[in-house]
Amino acid sequence: MSLTSAELHDKLKFYFGFSAFKGQQEEIILHLINGNDAFVLMPTGGGKSLCYQLPALLMDGTAVIISPLIALMKNQVDAIRGFVEGHDGIAHFLNSSLNKAQMQEVRDHLLAGNTKLLYVAPESLTKEENINLLRQVKISFYAVDEAHCISEWGHDFRPEYRRIQPIVKEIGKAPIIALTATATPKVQYDIQRNLGMLKAKVFKTSFNRPNLYYELRSKVNVDKEILKFIKANEGKSGIIYCLSRKKVEDVAEFLNINGIKALPYHAGLDANTRAANQDKFLMEQADVIVATITFGMGIDKPDVRFVIHHDIPKSLEGYYQETGRSGRDGGEGQCITFYSHKDIEKLEKFMHGKPVSEQEIGKQLLSETVAYAESNICRRRTLLNYFGEEYTQDNCGSCDNCLHPKKQFDGTEDLLTVLELVAEMKEQFKSDHIANILTGIHNSIIKSYNHHELPLFGIGKDKGVRYWTAIIRQAIVQHFMEKDIERYGVISCTKKGLEFLKNPYTVMLTEDREFAEVDDDEDAAVVASQRGGGGGDPVLLAMLKDLRHSMSKRINLPSYVIFQDSTLEDMTILYPVSLDDLKKCQGVGEGKARKFGKEFVELIARYVEENDIQRPDDFVIKTAVNKSLNKVYIIQNIDKRVPLDEIADAKGLEMDDILNELESIVSSGTKINIDYYIKQTVDEDKVDDIYSYFREEATSDSLQDASLELGRGYTEEEIRLVRIKFMSELGN
């Protein structure tokens, strides 16, 4: 079959109502119609589905579209039927959701030659009865959608995808088109090799989405920050991604309580509820969908204006694809991600018990995500570099790093040091190993290779591992070095790097970003003082800190026991002029307000009057009832001296959740007594040491600082328990 460009444009207008193709669509379609294999690498919103839908309608036979999106197949089939009215059975799907009568209808239409597009889940494709059915049908071509699922290096690996090639051979040979919105060069090769299409023509559209804005924020009071963001973008449609089903439910409930129409979406919901919630989002009966990564692939909603990651994704590919669901129409798309090291630790724990090779792949993908998060290089440049694309502009003007750049410094000498070490070690080691050598860390791996005897061992111990890791990361982005993904991230010098070693010149590098080390629970105000940034009014903030300092001297209490920095920052935004107003600031309950608040609200009232300040409308955040009930339940059971681990078990919580709740309770001004539990679980000498540290040495309530100062003999849980005791006894 052959068509001219004019004929193809006529068909495009007839079926889909479009006057012109986007990007490479026309070339891809003509290539496929002429019987050739194609590998299509096109970002979300680029129009991948049209590349197989239009040729399927034009070619003789049935196109088999292999897709993992069971929940979306009905929507896609309905959409095709909407385009082509009056053609009974022109599109069908084949998956486990069909009953016997529906299955028979699909069979009848297929065998009668009515069906032009058949959407098949990979699991359904492997069933013998379906293979036998498709052998009786003329296949026009096979489309492998979301093809990254084939690769173990992809962000959504599905083992069933590995079986596509032998099954295709069994059904009958026909052209193959593989499509994905995200694939590194490694994943691209893996897909083509597995499908037996290494000679296929590759159509690669730029990964750059210039309309998207990328930003990473410290994960402090995350639910409150998300609520503020959505309120500031009222009426706009958005997606919030969370890693766990529980967090999806919690965030959706929290938003609804605070007046945002939000719906949950995750694999734990029954299929009808998922489909209903998805349809409500598409039909704009809900503004926000809160979802795990199961949501979004294939969603045709062009006006999503923001994508928020409550938790950092497992890979940059996943991040890129999920953020790509924003601004598909070319309009505004804000991509906000909340990041903390604790999320990385959780993701690393999930890998335990998996096969070693799977763990290595997972760690490598995660390390790329960490590098992206903590880097101060242009986010767009880093992303495109990851996908093998060069971005030459110095400043994209649409990411946090470009809009708020960090200071640059002359990194020539340190870059030379790194390159010299990599070259000396015959390019056989990963970035963390290189950074450890330069920092002078004596670990078992370094000793096993005798790398502690290298001349460069410890040469940069004053700068730390994070600094050297950042140097390596920037060297890779600037192509002085490269990372071999197939060998789990082994670093080697490029031709450019080796030439630089011989003939050095000045290279400017950028200081790395630091993120607050906090838990992701929005109620854990006790740790929120580590948040980056300042308050809304820097003059008032300085005055409040002076007042807190003088009060701490007067009553002989550490400043952080009176009010957290984050509480003072909230005061400079909300301008509370009464104790009731003050209780709307984070970390302030009835007890705190009554005990310490009078002087603060009096100062603020004077400041507001003297400076003729317009106070903002009330921004009251309501919390979920079940969380309030949890707090009441915990306090009641502590009064009964029930062990904390038993309280956790009774409510289906982790010990970490209980400690978060307790920290929130005491930081807000409620007094509790957990001495009975501390005596059971913590050595008396340790209690004295930890208590003395917070009473006499600590300049903040930082858990990280306390752990470093107290040393290895003290667990995080022990320090947190005694810190709760200390905050309750002295502050409440």
CATH number of 525-610: 1.10.150.80
| Three-class DSSP category at 674 | coil
| Residue 239 pLDDT | 95
Q: Supply the mean pLDDT for the chain.
A: 83
Give the tens place of pLDDT for each residue, 212-223. Answer: 999 999 887 888
Q: Cβ distance 298 to 326 under 8 Å?
A: no
> Band of the pLDDT at 415, cuts 50, 70, 90?
very high
pTM of structure: 0.60
| Residue 37 pLDDT | 93
CA distance 152 to 174: 26
Does domain 412-506 bear CATH number 2.60.40.10? no
CA distance 349 to 436: 22
Domain boundaries, the chain: 5-204, 212-402, 412-506, 525-610, 625-731
CATH number of 5-204: 3.40.50.300
* Higher-scoring residue by pLDDT: 668, 195: 195
| Residue 295 pLDDT | 61
Are domains 212-402 and 525-610 of this chain identical in fold?
no
| Residue 524 pLDDT | 36
Q: What percent of the chain has pLDDT over 90?
A: 26
Give the tens place of pLDDT for each residue, 298-342. Answer: 466 888 999 999 998 888 888 988 898 899 888 899 999 998 877
Give the tens place of pLDDT for each residue, 444-466. Answer: 888 888 898 899 999 988 888 88
Q: Cβ distance 731 to 562 under 8 Å?
A: yes
Q: What percent of the chain has pLDDT over 70?
A: 89
Answer yes or no: is pLDDT of 577 > 60.
Answer: yes
* Higher-scoring residue by pLDDT: 535, 173: 173
**In this structure, CATH architecture of domain 625-731:** Orthogonal Bundle (1.10)
* Higher-scoring residue by pLDDT: 534, 385: 385
| Residue 94 pLDDT | 83
* Higher-scoring residue by pLDDT: 573, 378: 378
| Residue 530 pLDDT | 33
| Residue 515 pLDDT | 66
Mean of pLDDT values over 64-72: 77
> Band of the pLDDT at 656, cuts 50, 70, 90?
confident
Of 80-84, 223-227, 426-430, least confident by mean pLDDT is: 80-84
Biggest CA-to-CA distance, the chain: 90
CA distance 172 to 178: 17
Class of domain 212-402: alpha beta
| Residue 497 pLDDT | 92
SS3 content of the chain, % helix, strand, coil (to 5): 50, 10, 35
The residue among 548, 479, 527, 488 whose CA lies nearest residue 662 is: 527
Structure tokens at 535: 């308050």
| Residue 590 pLDDT | 78
Give the tens place of pLDDT for each residue, 13-61. Answer: 888 888 888 888 999 999 999 999 999 998 776 788 899 999 999 999 9
Answer yes or no: is pLDDT of 520 > 60.
Answer: no
| Three-class DSSP category at 94 | strand
Residues 86-96 as b/e (b if ≥16 CB within 10 A, e otherwise) read: eeebbbbbbbe
CA distance 425 to 47: 46
